[in-house]
Amino acid sequence: MLRLATRGSPLALRQTESVAEQLRALRGLIEIEPLVVMTRGDRHRELPLDRIGGQGAFVKEVQLAVLEGRADAAVHSAKDLPSDSSTGLRLACVPRREDPRDVLVGSTLDELGPGGVVATGSVRRRAQLANLRPDLTFVELRGNIGTRLERARDGTVDAVVTAMAALRRLGLEDRAAQVLSPLQMLPQVGQGALALECRDDDASTAELLASLDDPESRRHLVAERSVLATLGASCAAPVGAYAETARDGTLELEALLASGDGRILVRARRRGSDPVATGRELARALVADHGGSAIEGVGAIEGVGAIEGVGAIEGVGPLEGAS
């Protein structure tokens, strides 16, 4: 039996079910059982994420279930993973990434009137929308996808921002009023991707999960997480990053830093073959060369060690430059 630790939200359960379906299709009749875990982020839905730990609020308890042996692997939304990996765990696989873009539900950007009310719990989304439309009004929004979409349906707010990947996985993509291109809204690090972790010493589970790994999706995630890791845990500013593969096979990586009110927003792009090195170079350029150091909450970048949790999967060739 393979026990998969997961949050209990409808989206998290659907993501875990999708992993189970893919494993059964590839590896035959495997008995797979979800283990639902309540996280700090789930317990305190009334509080903004930055009040309860931001990134990591939805993963620590799920990781602990694997470390304690109550589950064999954890299924995460990759965007929820902190840039530093949990000791004792390995990033076992990154399945093929879903659409990473953000969407507006309830109204398009152009249809929002002056002072339109937009609901989002993400400082990254808020900063970028404020940069595009300084007249907009923002309100905090937490809860599962159904709860968020209802706010747009009942007229409490004019629009809600969410991820296209979440809508697609739940069969709700028809609710999107506008899909925002990365030029308008750079996605969160890892948005649209899943990340499966298992214990470092569990070679059999790692081998099983490796069958789902998509090398390109992993490479993109490694690059984006490298940006975040280089900026460091002390960075309190909104951050976005998005990696793609160019026609010649090289990596194209774009990232941004913004002030919370969106008045200052700096973006930069780099190309390279090494995802970790490209992410580090881009993060440093944002701060040192493009004005990111002027944004409150952005500290100086010092020496950067190895980035954990982005290395090769056992039984799969290593990614170039991944540690």
Residues recognised as catalytic: 80
**Helix (DSSP H) and strand (DSSP E) numbers for the chain:** 9, 13
Q: How would you classify the pairing of strands 194-199 and 73-77?
A: antiparallel
Q: How far apart are CA 23 and CA 1, in angstroms?
A: 12
Radius of gyration from C-alpha coordinates of the chain: 19
Q: Which of 110, 121, 191 is nearest to 158 (CA)?
A: 110
Strands of 251-258's sheet in order across: 239-245, 251-258, 265-272
DSSP state of 94: -
Angle at the Cα of 109 (from 108 to 113), degrees rounded to 5? 100
Buried b (16+ CB within 10 A) or exposed e, 271-291: ebebbbbbbbbbbbbbbeebe
Give the three-class secondary structure for 148.
Answer: helix
> Can you name the residues that pair with 73 across neighbouring β-strands?
4, 198
Q: Which amino acid is at 144?
A: N
